[in-house]
Structure 1
Amino acid sequence: MSDGNFIDPRERQTQIGRAEIEQKLRQTMADGALSSGWIIGGPKGAGKATLAYRIARGLLDPGALKDDRSFDASKTSQGVNLIANAAHPDLFILEREWDEKKSKYKTEISVDSVRELISFMNRTAAFAGARVAIVDTADDLNRNGANALLKILEEPPKNSVILLLSSTPGRLLATIRSRCKTIELRPVVDELVADLVQSETNVNKDDARTIAAHAGGRPGYALTLAMEEGAIAINLAHEFLRASAAGDASSKVAVTLASKAGEQHWPIFTETVLSGLVDAARKGARGNRVDGPLSGADPASLIAGWRALSDVTGRGAALNLDKAQILHAMSYDLRAALREGA
């Protein structure tokens, strides 16, 4: 595992690949035209929370900002430090609550939690400035909670901003979407992601590139992979796909993943295998070149393989089957699917 330390979005001082977005937002702020409701959309690990906290710093402590083009702020600022320590009186974070009885987070954000946000937004700001709320994530709102949030988006208090994070903005209530401006976080180029991974972890250059290529332009996800020895799991997945495409069974992969040490690699391994099949099928269907172990495979057979392996891994997890058994079934089903499409 990497010796790097994961930096919480509240504390992160920099963000890669979002300079254009920040410059436009700073100009909007300077023009006094900042909307009260914003949806920050993008897949998990794209940097939604990091951007939200950076915007919050700019709104709650504008004097700490270093320039007029970004949300880079002084580390010594009182407001910046209060945000980093989750102690700023004018910042409200709405997220799933911890269930003490079940020792896990609740599955959704309730209407009662949203009412707390509404009460907060209607109070006078402690520092006589803005009040900011971050909803992390809006995807977790239940129906009543979403409807309650809509009310304050329709009639927002003066000098208040609500930042809604969402991995699937299109699934939010249409009425919520219509009351908000949307920022879509697009993939960051692999080179920047690889540089970030190298600068914040101890992985080598080759592994950083492997991780960046797999992360799909998501800096946060790339860092998670690096912290969890993602390069090993990714390489195992590529070897599995290569062996299956060649009609072989990879004993190396089976031995590694079936061991106790292989437990930490399993989630990334399966995700890489499944996403690899989908990505190859999508490229093939569009007539684009498919490189790597799945080169030349029929898109329909790749989708059939994805369905079979999704079923196998799902049933294996539900039944708590031995990893070697699951891997054997995965290999058999994928080889069968690829043969049928040959």
Structure 2
Amino acid sequence: MSGADWNRPLWNNVLERRRRGAMPHALLLSGPAGLGKRAFAAGLAALLLCENGGDGACGRCRGCLLVAAGSHPDRVEVNLELREDGKTLRTEVTVDQIRRLSQRLSMTAQFGGHQVALIDPADLMNTSAANALLKTLEEPGAGTVMLLVSDQTSRLPATIRSRCQRLDFVLPNAADAMAWLKAQGVDGAAQALDAAAGNPGLALELARGGGLALRTEVATDLGQLWTRKAVPAEVANRWAKGDGERRTWFAAQLAQAEAAAQARGARGPLALTAISDFNKLAQWFREAGRVREQLRTPVRSELLLLELLLAWRALAPAARRA
């Protein structure tokens, strides 16, 4: 199997379908980034195009060698393309990409077996692209298997979701996640896993990419805003200039962890004074999620962040604010 061991049940599920000759024409691989969906999709595509077959691709046949070289004629992938400037990626999968895919899949497989299409990220198809994909999903060619990879499946139209068999990728238990991180050579695996809310792939990214230091900085900012030792506009401008989306995610996660700790009578990661209104904190948490979504669009990010941080400061108990 390709990918993490915690996805073994999903892999076995697909193998069983394949043995019964009941492989779906479209699979939706759904779940947060960092859980191995993309390695799973690549491994499944390789297996379907392998000329020997088994519980995994053999790695030696003509099909496997062509997949490894990126030149298998019956494997096609749709990703975010570069803009006309040739430097920056588009923010959505376009209708022209899906039309080219559909035209390709309408032809017979060159090697006489499966045709495999990977669409990643499927949830970033625009409305026209999603509509164009529907016809192919409704009338798939013989041997066609489409693998749609999605980190945020709720963004996909219901018409797309209903035409796919769904594989849900979920967080592994803490012991399996810790063992995997240690096998990757991560120092401070427990801290990284806590910062990633139990997501091992994200924990690995944080540990290797400086994310833990950024999370600590966000925690400091939230604490100082709570005690009025920081100016919201200054913090908002700094966040807007450097990874505002991730900072907002950390802020929401830290606030949620703080609330959970205080509800247990424990000390939270922000070590705040007592939270007096958990309902308002829950509203703020939802607002942080909304802001994070909007930060992916062309907006005045510093204004969005300022509004969010002002709302955070307003949550502090009246005595502390005074």
The structure-2 alpha-carbon separation of the partners of 1:190 and 1:232, relative to structure 1 and needing over 3 Å to count, comes to farther
**1:192/1:235 Cα in 2 relative to 1: closer, same or farther (>3 Å)?**
farther
Aligned to 2:75: 91
Contact 1:139 1:168 in 2 (8 A): yes
Aligned equivalents of 1:130, 1:83: Cα separation in 2: 13
Are 2:37 and 1:48 equivalent residues in the alignment?
Answer: yes
- The structural deviation recorded for 1:87 is 2.1
Q: Which amino acid in the other structure matches residue 67 of structure 2? A: I
Structure 1 residues 60-139: aligned runs within 5 Å: 60-61=49-50, 63=52, 65=54, 68=55, 71=56, 73-76=57-60, 78-101=62-85, 103-139=87-123
Aligned pair 1:338/2:310, yes or no? no
Question: What runs of 5+ residues in structure 2 fail to find an aligned partner?
Answer: none
Distance 1:133 1:339 in 2: 54
Q: CA RMSD in A?
A: 3.9
Give distance in 2, aligned partners of 1:118 and 1:95.
15
Q: Distance in 2 between matches of 1:319 and 1:25?
A: 45
Name the CA shift for 1:78/1:214 in 2 (closer, same or farther; >3 Å).
farther
> Deviation at 1:303?
4.1
How many residues were matched structurally?
306
* Matches for 1:112-261 after TM superposition, within 5 Å: 112-201=96-185, 203-204=186-187, 206=188, 208-242=189-223, 247=227, 249=229
> For the residues of structure 1 that align with 2:89 and 2:116, how far apart are their CA atoms?
24
In the alignment, which residue of structure 1 is the partner of 2:4? 15
TM-score, normalization by structure 2: 0.77
**In the superposition, relative to structure 1, how do residues 200 and 93 fare at CA in structure 2: closer, same or farther (>3 Å)?**
same
Sequence identity percentage:
27
| CA distance in 2: counterparts of 1:341 and 1:34, whole angstroms | 63
The residue number in structure 2 matching 1:299 is 278
Gapped runs of 5+ residues in structure 1? Answer: 1-11
Query: CA contact under 8 A between 1:233 and 1:266: conserved in structure 2?
Result: no
Paired with 1:341 and 1:92, the residues of 2 have a C-alpha distance of: 61
Contact 1:280 1:302 in 2 (8 A): no
Please, what TM-score do these two structures have when normalized by structure 1?
0.73
**CA offsets per residue over residues 268-325 of structure 1, 9 Å max, x none?**
44421122224555x589x7777513584232342465558987997xx96687xxxx
C-alpha deviations, 1:114-162, integer Å up to 9, x for none?
1211122122223221110011122122222212211111111111100
SS state at 1:151 partner: helix
Shift of 1:113: 1.2
Distance 1:308 1:143 in 2: 26
